[in-house]
Amino acid sequence: MSSILGWLVATGIGCALFAWPFFAPGASVAAIAALAFGTFSALVLIEMGSRSLDVRSFALLAALSSIDAAARALLVTGIGGFSPIFLLILCAGYIFGAKYGFLVGASSLLVSAVVTGGIGPWLPYQLFAAGWVGAFAGLFADHRGHRPSWRDIAILAVIGVIAGYGFGIAMDIWDWTYYQSAPGLGFHAGMRLSLALSHFARFYVTTSFAWDSLRAGGNALMVIVLGAPVLIVLGRLKAQMSARIDRTSLGTGSPAQGGMPSQG
């Protein structure tokens, strides 16, 4: 119960961070960053305390984040909005569940920012947006078979498309608040909701739709081309991490179960 409550609070904090610029446009960047990084650290500690994140699953988290950071370093600016960082985030969420998917997404962006020098006021928002990509893929983890089929690849490709646009829209919500002087596009404090939605829609179509379409299409293409082998490898790692060791065969008389990233 405490773990679920912690994740709900963390989700609320993430949503509050994206709403923050609307109500406090002059808020301290350092305060926002401290809140985001503190929330991420608290989630890791919660999962470790509940034993959902043991030594092996933490080591895998570090490995996946490092591989993703290296992949992004090879293509820092991406091709339009496309970035190779999302493949492992999507696959990890799909195999291990929403919680682990969030941690992989958030930690991948965090490590990548350090490696590529992409540390700035946007990073706290990227941390949550990428984490939500992994969590979204994890919502479908229970529908996955033991081995990836064409249906799994199709589902994950569709998830990749939705996540590609979702990530861009989430980041644009933060970015949009800086465009206050753009006529017909910008944000103004106190503007009515219908006008705000109209301005944001124009802003998104004008500045980001084509960019995000490349990300969405790139996610789907990566899943179609590389998704199956990645899912197989991660599935085998999950099976090994969740395997029971029959201690009776060793003369101890009781079974023990290794920790594993929990589903959901």
pLDDT digits (tens, 9 = 90+) for 221-260: 999 999 999 999 999 898 888 764 333 344 444 444 444 4
Measuring CA to CA, which residue among 173, 168, 107, 166 is closest to residue 136? 166
Quick one: pLDDT at residue 121?
Answer: 86
Ranges of residues in the chain with a pLDDT under 50 are: 244-260
In angstroms, rounded to a whole number, what is the distance separating the alpha carbons of residues 161 and 182? 29
List helix spans (H) across 75-122: 86-96, 98-116
Write out the CATH class of domain 2-243. mainly alpha
- C-alpha distance from residue 7 to each of 30, 91, 102, 165, 229 (Å): 23, 21, 10, 24, 30
Quick one: pLDDT at residue 261?
Answer: 55
Quick one: pLDDT at residue 34?
Answer: 92
DSSP structure class, residue 262: P
In angstroms, rounded to a whole number, what is the distance separating the alpha carbons of residues 118 and 258? 37
Q: Cα torsion for 132, 159, 56, 113, to the nearest 10°? A: -50
CA angle at 159 for the pair 158 and 165, rounded to the nearest 5°: 95
- C-alpha distance from residue 92 to each of 74, 77, 147 (Å): 21, 23, 14
Q: Is residue 102 a contact partner of residue 138, using CB atoms and an 8 Å limit? A: yes
Q: How many H helices and E strands in the chain?
A: 9, 2
Measuring CA to CA, which residue among 11, 49, 45 is closest to residue 139? 11
In this prediction the pTM is: 0.86
